[in-house]
Structure formats: C-alpha cells, structure tokens
A = this chain, B = another copy of it.
Amino acid sequence: MDTDMPSDPVSVVAWLEAGLVADSYRLTRARHVILTVMATFGHPFTSTELEQAVADTDASIGRASVYRTLTLMESRGVVEKLHQAGIEHYTLCLKSEHHHHVTCVECGRTEEFAVKDNIDLMSAVDGLARRLGYLPRSHVLEVYGVCPLCQESGAGGSDAAPTNGHGAGGRHPLGRRADR
C-alpha cells in the first residue's frame, strides 16, 4: 500500500460528501454524480472531459452544475488546477497537507508528494527567494517525468499497457516542449 492510492472511488466520494455535509452543503444528485465521475478518473482531467463524462452518466445534469461543483471543490482545496502543457487540467487532491504533484508525461498518472517529506527542496525554494531579497510567500511546483510503469512498458514507447488502472487509452498528450 504505497503506489496505488489507498482509496477506491466510492470511499473517496463518501469522504468528499462527508466534508460537504460537515460544512452544511446539501447532498444533491448532481453533486453525487459529478464527484463520482471525478473520483473515477485516475488522472487529471480537463473540464471538458468532466463535462462529457458527466453527460454520459446522466444527461439531465446541466453544464453549469459541473462547473459549480468543480469550483466549489477547488475552493475547498480538494481539487486543484494544474497547467499541463498549456492545457488546464484539474485533479483531485487527497493529501490535505502542503503538497505538490508529479505527473507522468506518458500516461498522465499523477502522484502527490508532501512538502514535509522534501524539506530540503522547500527550504531551497525559500532560500532562493531570500537570496534575491524577496520575502517568500508561496510557490508553484509541478514535476514531470516518466512513471515506473511507463518506463517498463516501452523504453521510449508511447502508450502504457492498460494494466493497473493505467489504461484509459493514451490520452494526456503531454508533449512538453522543453524545461521551463
């Protein structure tokens, strides 16, 4: 229990909904469907993908509610907007501590890593700011690479084998142009 996200979609949704109830948001049909779709994606997703998938699940749910739920979840810190290759992606965040993401450029798989497990890195960021005379406030850090599974299946290959929740058909064309 380390690699594969300990919580299945169902319990993730349950947890998200518990949070909503705790803050006296109402538990609606639309929200349930939208959250379920979000939790079922294993990858970051675009708003359009979400819209699509929700429509496929229940055509009666309106566009606006998809965006409303997305925004609500973002404001609750449980969804985060990423900027992958110029395309806005959203991802569920299970970690509540200060963390960042590593994303596989081949398959889109995303993992969270806690800042507390990488103090050296983060103190380096703050140190850099201070060296330039800045009072550090915040930062954005996103790391891209090839995940273990994609390294196995094809030493320079394109798509991962559809195993281990890895499938979903090579979307996420993260053809990074270069470092930034």
Contact = CB atoms under 8 A, between A and B. Distances in A.
Copies in the complex: 2
A140 B180 contact: yes
A138 to B, nearest CB: 5
Interface residues of A, number: 42
Contact of A140 (B115, B125, B140): B140
A121 B122 CA distance: 8
A137 B176 contact: yes
A98 B132 contact: no
Nearest to A139: B143
A173 interface: no
Contacts of A136: 143-145
A23 interface: no
